[in-house]
Structure 1
Amino acid sequence: MTRVARRHVLYIPGFDPVPPRAYRERYRREAARQAEISGYVIEKGEPPEGARFGWHVDAHVEGAEVAVDLEVLYWADIVRERMQGGIGATYLALVRTAWAYIGSGALWRLMRLRKGPVIAALYPVAVLLGQGLVALAIAGLVAWCFYRGAHGLMSLIGADQLADPFDAFRPLAALAGFGTGYLFLRWCAKRDHLYAWYLMKDYAFSSSLKGAYPPEQEARMEAFADRIAEVLRSDVDEVLVVGHSSGAYIAVSVLADLIRAGRVPDDGPVLSLLTLGHVVPMVSFLPKAGRLRADLAFMGSADVPWVDVTAPGDGCAFALCDPVAVSGVAGECKRWPLVISAAFTQTLSEAEQARLKWKLFELHFQYLNAFDRLPDGADAYDYFRVTAGPLTLRDRFGERAPSKSRLEAPVNKFTDMAA
């Protein structure tokens, strides 16, 4: 058993435009809550050297002192750039994304896993189509009112006896209607109270190349690999890579690249992988995701402990779906991931569950938050024991059995893998 005195955590977010400081503040806030609940001490320290977006904590957890450097592997700039498309571009992305999943048959296979994330994927389509219909209705009403108002005005001044006096008003009425409908959609996109425009951009990005990684994402993943390789040359005891949401499949591919390239030193720190709230099938089920499927198969049999945590209460994740197995790439030597549940109904009080009931996005981030009703046992999922405790990921969960409710049956039609 390796006792950890120093750990470096590298967190890969999902498709999220927020700056890294939001994750830093979430960690500090929720660590303080969990420390009060569980009797830990987790205190802020100086930021780690070489980390562009990082912070440090000194922890006293489970009777041990642990120094932890944490950093966010940044790609929010790519997310923000992809979210800048206008109204027309968004509706065009809607059509392309729907075709990517429906035309390939991926949508029907995803529905055989968990309904929640599929509904979450269809939700922005429904909302945007609904808003589009409302915009058309508004445009028609404004055009009609404009035209009838012009008719009344011309009648009032006696010009209605002229031949075709209203021809000039028809294009003006149409322009007024179109402009009003467009302004309504711009308001919807800007406010996005229902998060539909954001989610549409998210799914459009993931499916833009039918499962292949966009070039800018590949370039950033290469930079992530360089940074992890640098940390693996430091004198910490464990390097823990955490991938959340769509950051889970990014973490899988980055580590697969790193290991294949021989950049993980034999005498270096323990390397571990933790994935949270994954949405892997949304990409691995697409026809051109051969690169991701190969990485999943590789990491499934690699000598790197990989723990995957989801919860049935998270409607945005493929809860308890083994991402390697359901993608149809589990080989005979498959060892990972260990699929376990965060079990929100058991780890959150009834009051906390009621507070989060309709906050779907906050539920999707609950893996990074404090739990106010943790069960006994060192192998209960607790983000702060995992990141700031004295046990490596393998030692903490090594004796834990996988969830009995996990799904492992291969469902994916596309199982070819990149060489």
Structure 2
Amino acid sequence: MARVTRRHVLYIPGFDPVPPRAYRERYRREAARQAQISGYVVEHGEPPEGVRFGWHVDAVVEGEEVAVDLEVLYWADLVRAQMRGGVAATYWALLRTAWIYVSSGALWRLMRLRKGPVIAALYPVLVLLGQLVLAGVGALALGAVITWLGGRAGFEEIMVGPAYGAGLVLGIAFLRWCAGRDHFYAWYLMKDYAFASSLRGAYPPDQAARMAAFADRIAEVLQGDADEVLVVGHSSGASIAVSVLADLIRAGRVPEGGPILSLLTLGQVVPMVSFLPEARRLRGDLALMSGADVPWVDVSAPGDGCSFALCDPVAVTGVAPEGQRWPLVVSAAFTQTLSEAARAGLKWRLFDLHFQYLNAFDALPEGRDAYEYFRVTLGPMTLWERFGARAPSGSRIARTVNRYTDIAP
């Protein structure tokens, strides 16, 4: 069995506007927690030369020393650009996104998989519509009050226009305040779904260009001296990771005899895009990766209501070839890997649950194949050595649900 002494991890975030340093600090904080729980030795260092969004770790995990370079493949600037749209643009995006999912039939088919992520998708629609109603009611109430006061003073006829104009200004100000505060993350989620569906499942040009740059960077790392190159795609970053690696394979840019290339997807939401009519590229990439010589492990948890937990993204999309090999779908099993106190602290904190895959686990069962992020990224086994003997989750969903199964040529 080959042992890993050097690993390079390339992490692809989901639709997240935070800078890469936030992921670095999360990794440092949670790795320290896991080291204390599991008895690891973890020492953080400077990033490799030429790596802008990365860091280095020297670790002793499971009794063996491993040197790991980690970096974040950056696209938060595209996310921030998408989020700059104002109130009118957001409500237009709401209408357009809802129409795409309803008219294509994708919404009803997604509900047949997991209700949790569909509820998460409907939630911002309901919140934004509720805020719009409140803004409208407030605007009308203010206009009526000002008009009534004008009438009491004998100026009712000339006060109607200014009164309801003031109400409109108040309503717009209220919606801008809601967007700026976004206490319920509704505006953020709306822009996430709008971005993913903007071209009915096709990748937007800016995103496609950034993915090509990701492919170039991974190809460069594959020319290095790592024993394993591990690509990690989280949330909507899982779709990006699949497509980027598929492009590398098609182009013959995965060298024979080079580092072992592995793919880990966490909390994926692939069906939100692959079920849309124009997602031919993604569907083709899923089909290719399902039979490629790149071990692919997909980890999710039923407790994560923002992911399509335990849904085989290839099979449910309807593009599984005969003899499908990947992904191995396994559960992070939060009820078994987190203590009761940790689970209580996460109750109703949906975003924190969606990021738990990147955090420490405080109640891991015995055995090497229970999912734990730092054992995977810092440990001496390749991804497949760690999980290859594990059976797929018994709760895995692998039935075809998608209506659109055509793929890009």
Give the TM-score taking structure 2 as reference length.
0.99
- The structure 2 residue matched to 1:184, chosen from 167, 174, 183, is 174
The aligned residue for residue 53 of structure 2 is 53
After superposition, give the CA deviation of every residue in 1:77-101 in whole Å (9 maximum; x if it has no partner).
0000000001000000000000010
Q: Give distance in 2, aligned partners of 1:25 and 1:46.
A: 13
Q: Give distance in 2, aligned partners of 1:274 and 1:195.
A: 27
Q: Give distance in 1, aligned partners of 2:134 and 2:156.
A: 27
Q: Give distance in 1, aligned partners of 2:50 and 2:200.
A: 35
Q: Give distance in 2, aligned partners of 1:50 and 1:213.
A: 28
DSSP 3-state at the match of 1:8: strand
What letter matches 1:20 in structure 2? P
After superposition, give the CA deviation of every residue in 1:283-340 in whole Å (9 maximum; x if it has no partner).
0000000000000000000010000000000000000000000000000031000000
DSSP 3-state at the match of 2:42: strand
The aligned residue for residue 114 of structure 1 is 114
Q: Give distance in 1, aligned partners of 2:124 and 2:181.
A: 14
Q: Give distance in 1, aligned partners of 2:325 and 2:52.
A: 34
State yes or no: 1:344 paired with 2:334: yes
Deviation at residue 166 of structure 1 after TM alignment: 2.9
Please list every run of 5 or more consecutive structure 2 residues that lacks an aligned counterpart in the other structure: none
The aligned residue for residue 157 of structure 1 is none
Larger Rg: 1 or 2?
1
What letter matches 1:45 in structure 2? G
Superposition pairs for residues 106-255 of structure 1, below 5 Å?
A: 106-152=106-152, 154=153, 160=154, 165-255=155-245
Partners of 2:148 and 2:156 within 8 A in 1: no
- The structure 2 residue matched to 1:326, chosen from 310, 316, 319, is 316
DSSP 3-state at the match of 1:275: strand
Deviation at residue 28 of structure 1 after TM alignment: 0.3
Q: Give distance in 1, aligned partners of 2:94 and 2:331.
A: 33
Q: Give distance in 2, aligned partners of 1:351 and 1:397.
A: 28
State yes or no: 1:26 paired with 2:16: no
Matched positions, count: 409
DSSP 3-state at the match of 2:134: helix
The aligned residue for residue 258 of structure 2 is 268
The aligned residue for residue 105 of structure 2 is 105
DSSP 3-state at the match of 1:410: coil
Q: Give distance in 2, aligned partners of 1:45 and 1:55.
A: 6
After superposition, give the CA deviation of every residue in 1:93-116 in whole Å (9 maximum; x if it has no partner).
000000010000000000000000
Deviation at residue 167 of structure 1 after TM alignment: 2.7
Deviation at residue 403 of structure 1 after TM alignment: 0.2
Q: Give distance in 2, aligned partners of 1:294 and 1:272.
A: 19
After superposition, give the CA deviation of every residue in 1:108-163 in whole Å (9 maximum; x if it has no partner).
000000000000000000000000000000001110111112222x2xxxxx3xxx
Please list every run of 5 or more consecutive structure 1 residues that lacks an aligned counterpart in the other structure: 155-159
Q: Give distance in 1, aligned partners of 2:159 and 2:282.
A: 56
- The structure 2 residue matched to 1:311, chosen from 298, 301, 325, is 301
Q: Give distance in 1, aligned partners of 2:84 and 2:106.
A: 27
Deviation at residue 205 of structure 1 after TM alignment: 0.2
What letter matches 2:379 in structure 1? G
Deviation at residue 372 of structure 1 after TM alignment: 0.3
Q: 4+ residue stretches of structure 1 with deviation over 3 A? A: none
DSSP 3-state at the match of 1:301: coil
Q: Give distance in 2, aligned partners of 1:319 and 1:410.
A: 15
Q: Give distance in 1, aligned partners of 2:330 and 2:49.
A: 34
Q: Give distance in 2, aligned partners of 1:368 and 1:150.
A: 60
State yes or no: 1:289 paired with 2:289: no
- The structure 1 residue matched to 2:372, chosen from 382, 396, 400, is 382
The aligned residue for residue 357 of structure 1 is 347
Deviation at residue 3 of structure 1 after TM alignment: 0.5
Superposition pairs for residues 37-116 of structure 1, below 5 Å?
A: 37-116=37-116
Deviation at residue 206 of structure 1 after TM alignment: 0.3
Q: Give distance in 1, aligned partners of 2:32 and 2:328.
A: 28
Q: Give distance in 1, aligned partners of 2:264 and 2:215.
A: 16
